[in-house]
Structure 1
């Protein structure tokens, strides 16, 4: 647990590192802030923050930069505390123009908002919209074909039917499949597709092994149904700005970023898993690396029967208070209750 002063110093270092883009030392911290403590006190607090993993000491300077752990604590505090931040005049004017366009449909408004974010920041943006309607399982049945094949059929509460052939790598019987069918149907009945997917992957294989002596996994049928029902549309704005997002970039890293933002399964998964509100993801949560240079800030909100996510991809040194204030304003204005 950090003391209030340590939290203040960490926040100042995140903000100053974003502005100056160089390691922050105690002299810079005192010069650029209203801290009323000695240089020695600041150095001791910075050393404590480093020892606890919130700051990193660079090889080329006595100053410190935020670590992933430090950024995560700062962002969580910034979002949960909801400190009021006034939009810059240019940001406010740009968004006011957008919010007057109420005749546009929700998807067009989201794309317009993403365009404004790109113009104001110089970053890249992505937009994903998908249906927000929840679907529940009404019935699950297995049809025995032969000792090595079954057809699984799923009926949702809204009348959608999906079927899939499963070829088994072991021999079964009609009686066993009937028992499994009744078991799975009773376990999944009235569950949402999301809950059913987890149960089919984790619980039901163990239950079928206990019942008939082998594990059966029908989760791919749920995934197939979800893909059909949760259709989405994906857009990219400001893609070429990626070249300016990271320092010391290699050709492989740039290629990785372009592949990511081009609607890769990884990006779609990241956006589909976002909750309503604002979330911030860093390099190791996006591409599983530790370059600490890339950040994805997302704003997700409901609009009619859609769930819309606008993501802004920029450097870790971005001014988070400004970016979050813009996306909060966007969500507030574009959410249709």
Structure 2
């Protein structure tokens, strides 16, 4: 299965240069490859951190490393690097699709303490350790402000306590951008955040690519704001019109304007985002949410997306 197995030598060669290096002032880091393999094992099995096999080393080390990399943006940086490699090779199909999926949260995923983000670096610590914690603190600040308003991205929906994952996927069923919200949040409200998070860097000179060739979505994204956003950026879109919107347009006659363009053949490819969701949910730690903190769960989803790109 896609979610099983340790990193191969080829996959490790891609990731190793971007991981933090050890420094004598903040102690010797345990082998990153061993730790990442432990995180992959937990992703695929959904086991408790303390139940990790001994071959991955102390479970506390694996857990804390995952939390740190979720906080300081390391997982996101690795994902963008792998996307940049694929884009340089012409391997990304820029006809993207957007959708969302609800993820049932375990009862123990609730009840996270309303605590501030990790403390600012202590002056008594080494320079390297202070820089790591400072980077994590700054990356978390804006994210946690939104999390406080959303209650750790946990909400009530028909499925009970749930988190909703909003994503965009390119033409080969690989996630491009990820956003998490409480389970009751409507899809259309997160369309712009999902689109704004698309950012594939260039390996050489040039700005990151942020604009796809086309975007397809279901009727949940059929509103004036989404269409105006895409039209303003010059992006061709394929979003079906809701029946009540069509009826209202026809009722207004010539003042209702022209119907939005709709390409049936392009819309048939929207299933790529459904298949991307299916790939993500092969990981049991994503099919059910176990993480209390929203930023840690987002790191879990991002690390799974990274693995999908590495093994595609």
TM-score scaled by length of structure 1 = 0.24
TM-score scaled by length of structure 2 = 0.25
Which structure shows the bigger proportion of residues in strand conformation? 1
- Largest Rg, 1 or 2: 1
Structure with bigger RCO (C-alpha 8 Å, 6+ apart) = 2
